[in-house]
């Protein structure tokens, strides 16, 4: 029953929610309901894992700032196992 | 040809496990399938297939996998131990859950080629960086300071905050990564889809994604009915396929 009610709630949130766009790539991030509540912002129904950032602004405005959403690029880290050997070597020498 | 060991994880009844293992061998050739059994101990002994290993770990046998922080650490440790006990060495280890159907006869060659092309030590489905995001698994572990402390202590990377997530099934690992990961025990229960890729990353290994093959791998539902259509669209594998009869009756290797 709880799952059913949650499904209805999520469906409604996505129906009336706002569509988010990745501010870096322009990709669609899905629809979500955003509710400020008790000093926090609640994001309901969003399926994509997003990062939140204050956006750079070309005009110097003291009265308004914008919060945007983006995602990490695909993981593309180099192999650094040589450091593992070096680290262990140092620890052994210590 | 590189030596690939395909670890097929199952908890099903012995007869079903045998049929599944036979299907794997009929598709990829004999001698490179290892059954890792996570079901009851008495059932393990009834499985008429070799090689097989028993995973005696309650943290593998979860129902709500995310909330109970399902663990594959014992699987890695047992596989690593089994590999060391064999005269025949594996260069690569793939890990497949029982409902992940292989479709291509040259699956292993494609996986190894993908790893070479990407200069990767591990390739996994739906690999993503999740630190600092709204990803629910990341947020849950971010609330526990022990999580960051553990990876900070083992990491050889400059940025020790990186957290990766991957899909649980279908990953392909260089043997040395399996052995390196198997040396660690989780500091506290951590869901393996976060723990394994993040640990491998912080040990210095390079992880990459399967790219366009990701579309054939999803977490919910039953895609048994799609077997033939995805094969025609170039799928190497398909997940989830809950209907074993569908897998076993499908024409293999086209």
* pLDDT of amino acid B108: 95
Provide the residue-wise pLDDT of chain A in tens; the chain has 94 residues: 878 888 888 888 888 889 999 999 999 999 999 999 999 999 999 999 999 999 999 999 999 999 999 999 999 999 999 766 665 555 545 4
Q: What is the pLDDT at residue A92?
A: 47
- Residues B89-135 have pLDDT tens digits of 779 999 999 999 999 999 999 999 999 999 999 999 999 999 999 99
pTM: 0.90
Highest mean pLDDT among A14-23, B52-61, B166-175: B166-175
Domain assignment of residue A83, yes or no: no
- Confidence (pLDDT) at B253: 42
How many domains are contained in chain A?
1
Mutation to test the B interface, candidates A32, A50, A72, most B Cβ within 10 Å: A72
Residue A32 lies in a domain: yes
Nearest to A81 among B131, B205, B209 (CB): B205
B6 and B108 Cβ atoms separated by less than 8 Å: yes
Rounded distance between C-alpha atoms, residue B104 and residue B24, angstroms: 10
The secondary structure of B22-54, three-state, reads HHHHHHHCCCCEEEEECCCHHHHHHCCCCCEEE
The full set of domains in chain B, from first to last, is: 4-247 (3.90.550)
Quote the pLDDT of residue B1: 56
State whether A77 and B157 contact (CB < 8 Å): yes
Q: Is A58 inside any structural domain? A: yes
Interface predicted TM-score (ipTM) of this complex, two decimals: 0.87
Q: Which residues of B touch A50 (CB under 8 A)?
A: 133-134
Of B87 and B252, the one with more pLDDT:
B87
A59 in a domain, yes or no?
A: yes
Does B129 contact A87 at a Cβ distance shorter than 8 Å? no
The pLDDT of residue B174 = 96
Q: Tell me if A85 is assigned to some domain.
A: no
Shortest Cα distance, chain B CAs vs residue A65, angstroms: 20
Q: Are strands B52-54 and B33-37 parallel, antiparallel or unpaired?
A: parallel
Domain limits for position A32: 18-74
Q: Which residue of B has its CA nearest to A43?
A: B134
Task: Kindly determine whether residue B203 and residue A84, on different chains, have CB atoms separated by under 8 Å.
Answer: yes
């Amino acid at each position: 029953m709880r799952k059913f009610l949650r499904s209805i709630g999520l469906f409604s949130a996505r129906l009336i929610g706002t569509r988010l766009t990745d501010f870096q790539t322009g990709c669609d991030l899905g629809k979500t309901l955003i509710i400020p509540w008790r000093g926090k912002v609640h994001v309901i129904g969003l399926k994509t894992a997003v990062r939140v950032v204050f956006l750079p602004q070309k005009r110097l405005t003291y009265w308004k700032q914008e919060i945007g959403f983006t995602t990490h690029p695909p993981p593309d880290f180099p192999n650094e196992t040589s450091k593992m050997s070096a680290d262990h070597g140092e620890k052994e020498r210590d | 040809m590189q030596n690939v060991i395909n670890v097929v994880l199952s908890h099903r009844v012995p007869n079903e496990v045998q049929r599944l293992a036979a299907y794997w061998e009929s598709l990829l050739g004999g001698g490179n399938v290892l059954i890792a059994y996570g079901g009851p101990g008495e059932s393990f002994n009834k499985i008429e297939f070799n090689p097989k290993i028993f995973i005696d770990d309650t943290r593998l046998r979860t129902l709500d996998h995310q909330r109970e922080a399902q663990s594959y650490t014992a699987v890695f440790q047992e596989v690593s131990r089994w590999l060391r006990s064999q005269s025949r060495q594996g260069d690569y280890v793939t890990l497949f859950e029982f409902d992940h159907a292989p479709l291509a006869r040259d699956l292993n060659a494609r996986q190894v080629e993908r790893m070479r092309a990407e200069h990767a030590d591990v390739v996994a489905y739906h690999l993503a960086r999740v630190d600092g995001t709204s990803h629910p698994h990341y947020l849950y572990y971010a609330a526990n300071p022990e999580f960051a402390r553990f990876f900070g202590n083992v990491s050889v990377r400059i940025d020790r905050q990186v957290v990766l997530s991957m899909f649980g099934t279908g990953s392909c690992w260089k043997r040395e990564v399996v052995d390196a990961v198997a040396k660690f025990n989780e500091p506290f229960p951590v869901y393996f889809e976060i723990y394994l890729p993040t640990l491998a990353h912080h040990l210095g290994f390079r992880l990459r994604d399967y790219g366009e093959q990701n579309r054939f791998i999803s977490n919910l539902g039953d895609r048994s009915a799609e077997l033939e259509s995805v094969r025609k669209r170039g799928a190497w594998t398909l997940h989830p396929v809950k209907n074993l009869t569908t897998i076993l009756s499908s024409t293999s290797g086209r």
